[in-house]
Amino acid sequence: SMTQGIKDGASNPLTIESIELNPVVDGAAFVFPEETVTEEKK
């Protein structure tokens, strides 16, 4: 593991347990919801 943070600082450390290169991601996680068209917008 690797830990990052400001040296001698009062920040919370960020610990990286693993790095995954080119993971398979479900495209549905990035889909925007459909915008409903109301009569006012037409």
Instruction: Measure the CA–CA gap between 17 and 4, rounded to whole angstroms.
Output: 12
Tokens at residue 13, please? 């450390």
Give the pLDDT band of residue 21 (cuts 50, 70, 90): very high
pTM of the complete model = 0.29
Give the pLDDT band of residue 3 (cuts 50, 70, 90): low
Residue by residue, DSSP assigns the chain as -EEE--TT-SSPPEEE----SS----GGGGPPPPPPPPTTT-
Q: Evaluate if residue 33 carries a pLDDT over 70.
A: yes
Average pLDDT over the chain, rounded to an integer: 77
